Structure 1
């Protein structure tokens, strides 16, 4: 990491910083701003700073301290984010926070908590005088650049003088040169004198036509700024103002910082849209599969009780998965066994996903949404006479961390769970005996690791499982050459989790489809989230990134857990260009 040495920068003082700010390097030569050729850099003789001597102007004597503070305070960022502070108390009501890294970056905050007396704070090789109840910032652990009690010591200048100085400075070149003098991001600051109009007077508001509105800011010392608005959502408008007319697109506002020149219109931003390009970088993966069987009552379980339990209270967040298992006995005399009108199994869950298995077969899946994670699964179910195994696999997709009393929000099957269509009518399964098992078998065997994967027999070739729930897939691949970011295109899969060399890159859910209308795009009028939608009918996410630093130079181990059922042959490794 390159660390910027603050000492020479502080010694050069703020005049140097202003030369940099206004397009000059530390030698006073014209500097080149990012994205602009050297031949286009403005020559020194065109500079409004009189050979860079910005300190000779009163207006810059006022503004320099603020810019220097911002600049200098931003320099020790590497120290602030790299280490925890060392805190010391060199005296009564005194405190020092020191940030110092092994690579030389250093920053310090000195505090005087006394509410009435100045204090001399010993630090480093010297002492620092701090006013009562104040903090000083030393971005290089030597030079005090700011104290919270000394803000009011900045010079105060009369607005009239500021206006005339601003006029002198900023009208020395045509408006078209403004971005080159101040940088595109500082165009607004080049109209300092117009700011005084905005903060010195209340606007005069007029309505020159239907759906048109003008806000005029004009001071007694000549500063002027205006905002023209067209509130029509479908038609352009000619807005009369001053000695001319201005064409405004529908639902837009134009800014005239000098009451003459339109420098910005909200509908003419024309921001470029960047479309990422994802390119496959390898041949098809050679997959192997392992099918996990649904857990059932009577097997290994952690808890058995005559109640439905909250999921996280059982799993303690050790797994996203919790099995709810029970038995249902069906009499041979049940009418549905003869007429084929199968009973309906209904299960209500607090969220987030529920897979329902009956006698080892997947009956169906339901999931909640962002607005309401709760869900209800209901489906006809084919049962046979005698004992039937009901297995509900509840899946959490994360824990709530925001919202009113979010710690009390529940996850899992809390019921009721009912079976309707029996001779007895409806049977409430909620209060019968339930068994619980945390996690999947593949999780306990660590199938996502190269070592753990050897614990089971995998299928491949023509025996490869596709479109089957609770299936594990594994393969190996070589790291592609280059430094382009890498990702997996998972659009052929449903929902699950991905591991690269034993490290989880996260849960994937390409089966979650973006709904809505992706028609024409028009932002005019009151904004709603239904405007200008894209990629309707597509997965909300199909590319899943992983860092190159996780890859080995040789073979790499890739494992995918698929909950719903997908086709692994559609997975591809892609790079972003």
Structure 2
């Protein structure tokens, strides 16, 4: 029996046993016979699991953006970082790429991913959507949905609702069949229907309002046994919970739309996704922590989810328009699964500080009052416990406040958490967690020209041999079905030269992302757009034509399909207008000439990026082909030793796609420089699971031109760690020590091999630029080396006793240590 038949059978089985939901209730009970009994409810303060309110920290991870072999370590590091929940979207277009044909294998094994989370003792928030956006191609919709007659996406439209309900039902039934909902003893405690619909709802008028009500009712009637949420949907119908997405939900969230619903934050953006042509924009750990603490303090927030906690890699062609192959590389766990410090460590301290005050936060009486013009206090208090959040909104000045007869200094834009409303246990603006520096070490070069082979992509010129012909310019995505980035437009042109030899100009207007133009097999130019640029790109260039017949071949290229906005099914892409102009004569429009369309590349159709497919073409040496457009390159390389993450450095290339042993590791575009002058992304992740024990086949399709001899294979690891802790800092909540300490540790498999710098006193600078100050304990270096060298981690108390006495009485002291890991 096929997967599709299995899913269909599950659906029938579960429709037979489902009963109607209790409308308007915030209570979901387990069904009879599930074995382990459980219940998920909610009230105005929190989600309630088996009768207990819970303070929950969650992190988003997407199973298709990593490999099954990576999942256990990613989940373990998330748990170690203080998370309780892993949140993920469900990706319709990977599971049903062809209508009625399901795929839950490999990276798409949703059940395996959820069971791994359960095995490590964490919960799951399942965001079924099925529209997800997520910087994922077509917003997660399979492209065949575009071709359903009379369909209007995300509206009160019967064809759309029918397909949406079928898929959501199939996923819910699969989860029930596997016993994965909490009332069944599984880890899933919430599900999400739709995604940020409020952003587009006005475009649909009353149809949008009806659709929201329908989607909510459809989801609830599936009887999952857990609450449903709608993010960025202030009018989410009862019992569905409206949740917040954004950077500062402590300020922007309007709050739950019902008195019995809790404040949940489903997306706290840990950075910004990167697009080609932009520089990386990281979000500081101080800012993330401030936002979380403010949401708890101001909104009584009890569920906070980081988007992303691990971003991963957009393998293949799954990124949306202009989005890079790496995804949220600056998240607490980076693209490769390495811990991104100090973000990961700073948030872990926050999670511990909050959870140790869970009782007053979840059950205490709340009050707040002003401490100054830009300062405020938020207190949660029971008869026996108290916690206070003291907020300073002033972004430039330290604020001195008095709270319950305690004098405190609040750092600029900070929140101090006071356990028992007396003792500072965490300050959002004071980062004591170690910093880490990720480095890329070259382990393989391809400088030997003899190791490379090349194949020149043929330029189609004959309209009669094209896949499709017509007297019009066809839409790009409607023609390719989004199964390739490329679509050729081919036309013939009869040219009669003028007597005065006037220049001939070709003008091409396209709504695709890149355009390459060839005339009689000769390359005449290209142009590309950008994420925030005009919708149309225009190529206007002089060309040489032969007297009589000429062949014009235009290659339209997309860098991902759209992922958001109203009426995606109506969007038009590709070449929209072509004209030839001779001198001052009127332009000759070619739009209604006989055009031929060729879908994709010859190399794609023949799978020449695979071992078998590569035998179908004749590869040559790369002499004189470097920096030429539309070239396929092939070579081999050995698997690097060890367990460090691996990446290709493609700085020398232009734009294209890379395959390792037939697996696409994604698009690259290093020739599109950011304002800094650097590529938006130059390193491209190769999961070790894509590699053979020894030799591996590397194939690139280079679209614009580059030098493959300068490509290198690199390993990535955290080779340098640093910490800067003040003697007045709160002790780490991860240890039993009563004094502040510098805590350093290397990633798994590495040890502290050298101490680059150590100073107890008043060192200057930070972990990137440091030096000794006017006060320096002479024993600093020896004390730190004795404590740390040769160990995977070490802890050094920031006390005078540890360093043999006070080197400078009356001066506030810190300890800065910079160490190498190897």
Alignment of 1:249 onto 2:411: yes
* Aligned 8 A contact 1:493 1:562 in 2: yes
SS of the equivalent of 2:454 reads strand
Alignment of 1:188 onto 2:354: yes
* Aligned 8 A contact 1:323 1:393 in 2: yes
Match of 1:281 among 433, 443, 462: 443
Tell me the distance in 1 between the aligned counterparts of 2:628 and 2:418: 63
Match of 1:452 among 613, 616, 619: 613
Alignment of 1:323 onto 2:484: no
Which residue in the other structure is 1:149 paired with? none
Alignment map for 1:197-208 (pairs within 5 Å): 199-207=364-372
Cα gap change, 1:97 to 1:309, in 2 (>3 Å):
closer
Which residue in the other structure is 1:19 paired with? none
| Structure 2: tracts of 5 or more residues without a match | 1-34, 36-78, 82-116, 126-174, 187-221, 227-344, 718-822
Cα gap change, 1:344 to 1:272, in 2 (>3 Å):
farther
Which residue in the other structure is 1:488 paired with? 648
Once the two structures are superposed, what CA deviation does each residue of 1:449-482 show, in whole Å capped at 9, x if it has no partner? 3343344433326x25100000011112222332
Tell me the distance in 2 between the aligned counterparts of 1:100 and 1:206: 51
Which residue in the other structure is 1:559 paired with? 699
Cα gap change, 1:549 to 1:259, in 2 (>3 Å):
closer
Alignment of 1:510 onto 2:670: yes
Which residue in the other structure is 1:476 paired with? 636
Alignment map for 1:159-170 (pairs within 5 Å): none
Match of 2:561 among 367, 390, 399: 399
Deviates more, 1:437-446 or 1:240-249: 240-249
Which residue in the other structure is 2:577 paired with? 416
Once the two structures are superposed, what CA deviation does each residue of 1:341-393 show, in whole Å capped at 9, x if it has no partner? x3443222222221122332323222333346833123221223524332110
Tell me the distance in 1 between the aligned counterparts of 2:382 and 2:619: 85
Which residue in the other structure is 1:140 paired with? none
Which residue in the other structure is 1:268 paired with? 430
* Aligned 8 A contact 1:295 1:325 in 2: yes
Match of 2:465 among 296, 300, 303: 300
Match of 1:233 among 378, 391, 395: 395
Alignment of 1:388 onto 2:562: no
SS of the equivalent of 1:347 reads strand
Which residue in the other structure is 1:99 paired with? 178
Tell me the distance in 2 between the aligned counterparts of 1:218 and 1:292: 67
Alignment of 1:440 onto 2:440: no
Cα gap change, 1:466 to 1:248, in 2 (>3 Å):
same
Tell me the distance in 1 between the aligned counterparts of 2:486 and 2:620: 24
Tell me the distance in 2 between the aligned counterparts of 1:550 and 1:183: 36
Tell me the distance in 1 between the aligned counterparts of 2:592 and 2:491: 10
Which residue in the other structure is 1:374 paired with? 535
Query: How far off is 1:220 after superposition?
Result: 9.8
* Aligned 8 A contact 2:360 2:381 in 1: no
Query: How far off is 1:273 after superposition?
Result: 4.3
Cα gap change, 1:135 to 1:547, in 2 (>3 Å):
closer
State the Cα RMSD in Å.
4.0
Query: How far off is 1:543 after superposition?
Result: 1.9
Cα gap change, 1:258 to 1:412, in 2 (>3 Å):
same
Tell me the distance in 1 between the aligned counterparts of 2:535 and 2:415: 44
Match of 2:679 among 520, 523, 539: 539
TM-score by length of 1: 0.59
Which residue in the other structure is 1:30 paired with? none
Alignment of 1:312 onto 2:482: no
Query: How far off is 1:218 after superposition?
Result: 7.9
Cα gap change, 1:464 to 1:474, in 2 (>3 Å):
farther
Query: How far off is 1:330 after superposition?
Result: 3.3
Number of aligned residue pairs: 396
SS of the equivalent of 1:453 reads helix
Once the two structures are superposed, what CA deviation does each residue of 1:198-241 show, in whole Å capped at 9, x if it has no partner? 8414323342xxx4323254879686554433333333332344
Tell me the distance in 2 between the aligned counterparts of 1:245 and 1:503: 60
Tell me the distance in 1 between the aligned counterparts of 2:708 and 2:400: 59
* Aligned 8 A contact 2:349 2:426 in 1: no
Tell me the distance in 2 between the aligned counterparts of 1:317 and 1:212: 52
Once the two structures are superposed, what CA deviation does each residue of 1:83-129 show, in whole Å capped at 9, x if it has no partner? xxxxxxxxxxxxx956389xxxx9668xxxxxxxxxxxxxxxxxxxx
* Aligned 8 A contact 1:80 1:99 in 2: no
* Aligned 8 A contact 2:389 2:417 in 1: yes
Which residue in the other structure is 2:625 paired with? 465
Query: How far off is 1:248 after superposition?
Result: 2.5
Which residue in the other structure is 1:548 paired with? 688
Which residue in the other structure is 2:788 paired with? none
Cα gap change, 1:356 to 1:77, in 2 (>3 Å):
farther
Tell me the distance in 2 between the aligned counterparts of 1:77 and 1:193: 22
Tell me the distance in 1 between the aligned counterparts of 2:433 and 2:529: 36
Which residue in the other structure is 1:360 paired with? 521
* Aligned 8 A contact 1:290 1:459 in 2: yes
Match of 1:427 among 575, 579, 588: 588
* Aligned 8 A contact 1:307 1:431 in 2: yes
Deviates more, 1:259-268 or 1:386-395: 259-268
Q: Whose radius of gyration is greater, 1 or 2? A: 1
Tell me the distance in 1 between the aligned counterparts of 2:121 and 2:424: 38
Tell me the distance in 2 between the aligned counterparts of 1:427 and 1:320: 29
| Structure 1: tracts of 5 or more residues without a match | 1-6, 8-32, 36-72, 82-95, 110-132, 138-178, 516-535
Query: How far off is 1:402 after superposition?
Result: 3.5
TM-score by length of 2: 0.43
Query: How far off is 1:558 after superposition?
Result: 1.6
